[in-house]
Structure 1
Amino acid sequence: MTLDAHAIDAAGPRRRHLLQLTGSGLAAGLFASSARAQADGGSVKAVAFDAFVTFDPRPVFARAEQLFPGKGAELSNLWRIRQFEYTWLRVVSQRYADFWTVTEDALRFAAAAAKVDLTADKRDELMGGFLALKAHPDVLPGLQALRGAGIRLAFLSNMTERMLQAAIHSAGLEGLFEHVLSTDTLRTYKPDPRAYQMAIDAFGLRREEIVFAAFGGWDAAGARSFGYRTFWANRLKLPAEGLDAKPDAIGDTLADLVTFVGRT
């Protein structure tokens, strides 16, 4: 099944609007079709989330502009790119370091490349932003709708458990996720197949019964290659990756994910 953002927009603007307005009370109405599918033996039983589908990192990068006026955008772009490139390089070279360390290493590189003075105080402030992340506005009602339909939820993230737990607390999402899975426990990173296997092992389900919600196009391709039905939350409205594994659906928000799961 392939469903892009335009198809979702055409199919459900009223339901998306209700989702934003009514929050958890929407589950019975918006997601009734999925609940019926579950009762009839529908196959989707769980959703595994990349952390940045739910957590909004933009305030961290906005703070970079405040600390380094006129240089924040350059610093942030360099930082984000290196943050993930370093995870892949460390897996390939078998020189593992956890995501907190990788993030700090990437920040130091970005500061040097952007030619800004990254003092210890400014470094700590920017790094600390990853422990105080908030949720995107559409997240809580979307998660409540999924839970109301009997869908099990987990994080499956490259972030360390400390980072994930801090962000869950900061965003007020305690009690919504059955599992908080960090690839740090395996000393690897997505798209290593061993990382995606973690959700299967934790849920005790078949991969066909799990939808993976990805933030990055590369992560969507990795999860699809592994065998998950995959939803790409393309919040940055980026073009599709030039890879041979395409997500099953693409949307902007968790309302679009709810629609996709309800049809699957």
Structure 2
Amino acid sequence: MSRRQFLRLVAGAGGLLGACRPKSTPTASQPPARENVEIRGICFDLFTLFDPRGVERVAEAVAPGQAAELCRDWRVRQFEYAWLRATAGQYRDFEVVTGEALDYAAGARGLSLSAVDRRRLVAACSELTPWPDTRPALEAWRRAGLRLAPLANYSPGMLSRLLAHAGLAGLFDAEISTDRARTFKPSPRAYALGPAVLGLPREQIVFAAFGGWDAAGAAWYGFPTFWLNRLGVAPEALSAAADATGPTLAELAAFVAR
């Protein structure tokens, strides 16, 4: 069976990835495919493959009754600090930024975290659970001959620990941390690591984004872009848009096949 035939099979309504579709999901958007482009690789934002909400469950044990608000403030400062440092030329890797953002979020809520609890919360970012459709999708794409890699703001250590913890490291051709470029997505230098590491032109690599901002950044860079809107959030009001959207990896497989 050819790679294209295989991808068409898994992307069909009754394909193996269809079994992972939630009972109620946002409507997928599939515009016409780019012509004369053979997709040979996929780069993933980590949260398209891993459920980020696991951190909140750890936070609930550390700060009962305050986990949701703590994690919300933590996530906001995590990205603000990353982008602030990159813009100001004061780069630190994402593990350092994550700790700094946690310190702010805890302090803003009057929480005094012990060193053990701080390490536990930061470590939780590298102990996330894969979404149910992650492994079968990756295995299908591997068998189809596609080159696969996460392209993540996570530091190299965070990224390696996350993939090893989930037992998924062997399904990727590379682990791409934006630390290699000493910056973070959505910098074009961050996205440029995908073609550089996979050895493919950007036009042949689909970028799968979890956040709308990441989809915009990848589209601006020139990737064929799929916004995997797992949580059904509103689209960003930006001039760039993903080529297609959908709530599960089944829709991504259909986009890649087309």
Same fold at TM > 0.5: yes
Match of 1:195 in 2: 190
Give runs of aligned pairs for residues 16-165 of structure 1, distance below 5 A.
18-20=18-20, 43-165=38-160
3-state SS of 1:213 partner: strand
3-state SS of 1:153 partner: strand
Which consecutive aligned stretches of 4+ in structure 1 deviate over 4 angstroms post-superposition?
A: 16-19
- CA 1:17–1:136 in structure 2 vs 1: closer, same or farther (change >3 Å)? closer
Gaps in structure 1 of 5+ consecutive residues: 1-10, 22-40
Gaps in structure 2 of 5+ consecutive residues: 1-10, 22-35
CA offset at residue 117 of structure 1? 2.4
Query: Does 1:212 pair with 2:207?
Result: yes
Structure 1 distance, partners of 2:231, 2:109, is 23
3-state SS of 1:112 partner: helix
Contact kept? 1:83, 1:102, Cα under 8 Å:
yes
Structure 2 distance, partners of 1:235, 1:139, is 12
Identity percentage over the alignment?
48
Match of 2:15 in 1: 15
Contact kept? 1:111, 1:117, Cα under 8 Å:
yes
Amino acid corresponding to residue 54 of structure 1 in structure 2: L
- CA 1:17–1:168 in structure 2 vs 1: closer, same or farther (change >3 Å)? closer
Which has the larger helix fraction? 1
Q: Deviations over 1:152-189 (max 9, x none)?
A: 10111110111111111111102111011111122111
Q: How many pairs were matched up?
A: 234
Structure 2 distance, partners of 1:215, 1:256, is 13
Match of 1:234 in 2: 229
State the Cα RMSD in Å: 1.8
Structure 1 distance, partners of 2:96, 2:233, is 27
Contact kept? 2:48, 2:208, Cα under 8 Å:
yes
Structure 2 distance, partners of 1:64, 1:57, is 12
Q: With structure 1 as the length reference, what TM-score do the two structures score?
A: 0.84
Q: With structure 2 as the length reference, what TM-score do the two structures score?
A: 0.86
Structure 2 distance, partners of 1:16, 1:116, is 46
CA offset at residue 13 of structure 1? 4.3
Amino acid corresponding to residue 191 of structure 1 in structure 2: P
Q: Deviations over 1:124-164 (max 9, x none)?
A: 11111123222111100111121222211011111011111
Contact kept? 2:246, 2:252, Cα under 8 Å:
yes
Structure 2 distance, partners of 1:102, 1:189, is 11
Q: Deviations over 1:69-119 (max 9, x none)?
A: 211110010011111111111111111111000000111111112222222
